[in-house]
Amino acid sequence: MKISIGNDHAGPEYKKAIVKYLEDKGITVTNYGVDDFSSVDYPDYAHKVGADIDEGKADFGIVICGSGNGIAMTANKHQGVRCALCWTKEIAELARLHNDANVISIPARYTSIEQAVAMVETFLNTDFEGGRHQNRVNKITCA
């Protein structure tokens, strides 16, 4: 499994904990995020993760900013991305189960690091249910 991760200045500690969790599981991680709290523009990092999804360089993506909104909006501009803003494990599970999300957006200012790692674990360990949900997912992309 290959995962791309990107974050702005609100999420360096979250990113570090998530990358450690993933690498401990033997997962290959491409890290586009920043490691300090100096102000940066979240779209720069969301676009890198989105491009990796579009180009098949990553199976899943993780994006992190303060609210999770801006970075999710940016990631979703990429044709192959279905990015879900998640703040609980249950939402992360449903994002995969019902929406076949391939990128999770984490709001660093509204979740703990422990919650973020647990959401990533749930997200990656949940398969898309398909069935009636497949027809809905097929309607997401604009022609």
Catalytic residues: 65, 98
CB 51 within 8 A of CB 19: no
Spatial distance between the Cα atoms of 19 and 31, rounded to a whole number of angstroms: 8
- Cβ of 124: how many Cβ atoms within 10 Å? 19
